[in-house]
Amino acid sequence: MATAVSPLAPKSYPEMPELEGVQFSTAEAGIKYKGRTDVLLAKMVEGTTAAGVFTRSKCPSAPVDWCRSVLKSGTARGLLVNSGNANAFTGVKGKSAVALSAKIAASALGCEENQIYLASTGVIGEPLDAEKFSPVIDELASMSKPTGWLDAAKAIMTTDTYPKIATVSVELDGKTIVINGMAKGAGMIAPDMATMLSFIFTDAAIDAHALQDLLSSQTEASFNSVTVDSDTSTSDTVLLFATGAAKARGIEAVQSSDDPRFPVLQAALGDLMQNLAQQVAKDGEGARKFVEVRVEGAQDNASAKVIALSIANSPLVKTAVAGEDANWGRVVMAVGKAGEPADRDRLAIWFGDIRVAVNGERDPDYSEEAASEVMKHDEIIIRVDLGLGSGENRVWTCDLTKEYVAINGDYRS
């Protein structure tokens, strides 16, 4: 496991405002390792609604199956997460493990089992011993507190080198509501669904269907726009919970996406999700550089995204970034292999503000020194103009370093 914190880690953590209706607690359940916090319980008040988006893997984990199923209830009282074992590809044992996990949590929280959401991350293919939750669940349920955001974010980490949290506030009906979120990522981060685990909470009251619309509308431009290594986890899960506690402060419930306050919530949630998604890329395994790939002039936005991801996922582009090499020839290669409409002789490419190629060849004013200077930065923008249409998109990724290979060449030991 990596121990050094990513050089791209935020310099400080945001102050997370208290968010009425949810409380956290963490424990050491010894799921995989001893002496390591590996369980998170989030306790939510009655009336909390829930929404989720999940991995598109054809082999999803048992907890993903479980969440998809209980989401039909639309309500939530508890979220139980472990960071030792993904409970993925565990067959009938996996199904028993999620059922038992939910039973244990529901019993401690005094709610229905279908109000318990589950997420697991860690090694896949190994049975999860859900009985390990039993000895710690009562303490988890009783010692939870509303201020444990950073501890909660730490408890869900695996090969992450720093906890990921973010907060936004927004005015509804002249009063403030809060959206707080956390994420874990690191490896196996790719669309679709982009990622990792992320749990987002708001004290606004939002009908379950509207909440799902809200979450779904912001996923494409955030978690589905980040890639570390093109590999997609079997466990990717983003859950959004609305406790509704703000109703007591006179903020009416949002009943549907037609509510005039819906776009306000979309903008705020979008900011928060993009913030978390970027933090995930910045903590990509072995990452030393954060890269934003912008594609414009494409046939349409969808085409721009395919090309942007082709660039962001190219091992040759990613190693060039690691080597601080302004190797735009590899960007051309990645555009070409995407299979989307492109005209070699109309391409223009920038590293940062330095245009290195134009009209299908090296920019006559190209200075390798200036481009190399850009590559020394921690955060690099690679921009491509296809010169075909008005489609544009952007994705985020990181470089591919020897450290990535080291981390993943010996993950299980």
Q: Which of residues 196-225 bind a second copy (CB under 8 A)?
A: none
- Nearer to a second copy by Cβ, of 203 and 229: the residue is 229
Both tokens of 150, joined, read 């950073």
- Nearer to a second copy by Cβ, of 36 and 93: the residue is 93
Find the helix or strand (DSSP H, E) in which 151 lies: helix 149-155
Interaction of residue 330 with a second copy, rule CB under 8 A: yes
**Dihedral over Cα of 178, 244, 237, 190: its sign:** negative
Interaction of residue 127 with a second copy, rule CB under 8 A: yes
Site for a second copy in 226-245 (CB under 8 A): 229-234
Interaction of residue 88 with a second copy, rule CB under 8 A: yes
Q: Please select the residue that binds a second copy; options are 177, 280, 320, 382, rule is CB under 8 A.
A: 320
Binding-site residue total for a second copy (CB under 8 A)?
72
Q: Which stretch binds a second copy (CB under 8 A): 163-171, 212-220, 241-249, 405-413?
A: 405-413
Interaction of residue 319 with a second copy, rule CB under 8 A: yes
Q: Which stretch binds a second copy (CB under 8 A): 102-110, 133-141, 200-208, 402-410?
A: 402-410
- Nearer to a second copy by Cβ, of 11 and 412: the residue is 412
- In contact, 26 and 147? CB cutoff 8 Å: no
Site for a second copy in 341-380 (CB under 8 A): 341-342, 344-345, 347, 357, 359-362
Map tokens 């990452």 to a residue.
287
Both tokens of 333, joined, read 């290669």
- In contact, 118 and 102? CB cutoff 8 Å: yes
- In contact, 347 and 295? CB cutoff 8 Å: no
Site for a second copy in 12-51 (CB under 8 A): none
For 206-216, b/e burial (b = at least 16 CB within 10 A) is bbbebbbbbbe
DSSP structure string for 161-180: SS-EEEEEEEEETTEEEEEE
Give the number of other CB atoms < 10 A from CB of residue 59.
10
Q: Which residues participate in catalysis according to the annotation? A: 195
Q: Please select the residue that binds a second copy; options are 82, 225, 327, 397, rule is CB under 8 A.
A: 327
Q: Which of 147, 148, 124, 144 is nearest to 136 (CA)?
A: 144
Q: Which of 76, 68, 30 is nearest to 50 (CA)?
A: 76
Q: Please select the residue that binds a second copy; options are 100, 221, 333, 381, rule is CB under 8 A.
A: 333
Q: Please select the residue that binds a second copy; options are 16, 29, 51, 86, rule is CB under 8 A.
A: 86
Interaction of residue 329 with a second copy, rule CB under 8 A: yes
Q: Please select the residue that binds a second copy; options are 11, 15, 34, 58, rule is CB under 8 A.
A: 58
DSSP structure string for 187-209: SS--SSS--SEEEEEESS-B-HH
Interaction of residue 389 with a second copy, rule CB under 8 A: no
Site for a second copy in 175-194 (CB under 8 A): 187-188, 190
Interaction of residue 90 with a second copy, rule CB under 8 A: yes
